[in-house]
Amino acid sequence: MFLLVSIFYICFTMKKFEIPQHYRSSFIGQIKDARKALDPRKKDFTPAILDFGSVQFLIARHFGFCYGVENAIEISFRTVDENPNKRVFLLSQMIHNPLVSNDLAEKGIEFIMDTKGNQIIPWEDLTSEDIVLIPAFGTTVEIETKLKEIGIQIDSYDTTCPFVKKVWTMSEKLGRQEATVIIHGKHIHEETRATFSHSKENGSSVVIKDLNEAKSLEKYANGEKPIEEFFIEFKGKHSEGFNPKTAFSKVGVVNQTTMLASETHEIAEFFKQLMVVKFGENEIKNHFIDTRDTLCYATNDNQEATYGLMREAADLAIVVGGYNSSNTSHLVELLEQNLPTYYISDVSEIENEQLINHFDYTNHKMLTTSNWLVKKEKTRIILTSGASCPDAAVDMVLDQLLSYFDNTKSKTEILKEHKSIYTS
C-alpha cells in the first residue's frame, strides 16, 4: 500500500504543466528547485532562510501552485487558444486567486456564477455550441445534469482536481456500506457543495464546519437537543430524510480538501470514540469506517511547512493569496497564533513601510495597520502563500519588502549561497 501511495504521489508531483510564464518565479522558483532536488519526498519541512543582511526571509518549504491548480490553469488557457470562434465560460472562479481570475476574464472567459453559487448568466443563455469549464473545486451533480440537458460536452473541460474526486470516491464507498457521511467543510464553499451533492446521491450525509458542530450532532442523536432545532441549525447542510436520532450507528468522515488536517483528525476521533462508547471497542470496525486522511498532498504539505515556520523565531509573517481561498486562510490561522500575520492578496496591498492593507478572514473585512514593519538589527520575516497563488506574486512581495531595508545583498548572491547550502 505504501508503495502504491508513493508512486501516486510522485506521478502527480513530477508532472510539468504549461502555464503562463508570468506566473512563474525567477527567484523563489530557484529556491524551491534547490530544496526539491535535495529532498524530493519532502521529509524536511524546515524553512529556507535567506539572509540578506539587515533582513532575513524565512521561506516555507512548500507553498504556491499545486497539481490541481496548474492542471486547471493549463486546461483553461489552452481551451481559449484552441477555440477562438467559440464562447468559453467558467462555472465560477477557476481557483480562488484574483490575479488568475482577472487573467482568464481578459482572455474572454465569462463566469456563469459567483463563488457562492449565485447565477450571473442564465442557463437559458447557453447553447450546445458553448464550452463550459468546470473549476478545480468540481461541481454538483445537479449542475452536471443541467449542462448535459443543454447539450454541452463537459468531459474534456472538467478540471476537477483528482484529490477532490478522491473524496467523492470515498463518500461513495461509505454510502455503499450504509454509513452516514460526515463532511468536514465550509458548506458554502464550491468544493463542499460539490462533495455534498455527490455524497447524498449514495447515502445519508451532513456537513459540519468544526468540532463544535460535531458535538452538537451528538446532542441531537442522544436527545439532549430537540430534533426541530437540528433542521434549523443544519439547514441546507443535510441530505433529504436525515434523522440525527438514527443516523449515527455507522459513520465515516471525509473533508473539504483544504481544511486543517488537525481539525479533521480531531472530528474523526470524536466520532470514533462515540462509536466505541455506544458499541464497544470490539465492534468499532462495524460502526466507524476509517477513511484515513482525505486532504490533498499540497494542503497537507503547506500546513506541515507552516508548522515548520512556527518553530522559528520571527518578527512578522506575510501570507499571500486570494481572500476567498480556504487553504490560504488556514495558513494565516496557524501563523497568527505565534506572531503578527498579514494576509494580502498581492503586493499592491503594501502601501509603504508604514502602512499595509490586509484581510481579517475571521470578520471578512479589510484592515489597515500602521507601523507594521519591524526594523531592528536583523529583522526576520516569514513569507508563504496559498496553493492558488502564483510564485511570481510572492517574488513581487519579497522585492517590495527588501526595498525597505538598507545595505542588503543582491538576490544573485543569495541564490549562490542557497544553492551551495543545498547541493553541498
Positions annotated as catalytic residues are 191
What residue has cell string 499571500? Answer: 320
Report the 3 state secondary structure along 300-318.
HHHHHHHHHHHCCCCCEEE
Cα–Cα distance, 16 to 40 (Å, whole number):
15
Q: What residues contact residue 330 under an 8 Å CB cut-off, 6+ apart? A: 258, 259, 260, 303
Asked if 358 contacts 329 with a C-beta cutoff of 8 angstroms, the reply is: no
Cα–Cα distance, 70 to 390 (Å, whole number):
10
Q: Find, among 191, 245, 183, the residue nearest to 219 by Cα.
A: 245
Q: What residues contact residue 51 under an 8 Å CB cut-off, 6+ apart? A: 409, 414, 417
Dihedral sign computed on CA atoms, order 326, 310, 99, 168: negative
Cα–Cα distance, 329 to 325 (Å, whole number):
6
> What type of residue is 418?
H
Asked if 331 contacts 306 with a C-beta cutoff of 8 angstroms, the reply is: yes
Alpha helices in 177-260 (DSSP H): 190-199, 211-221, 227-233
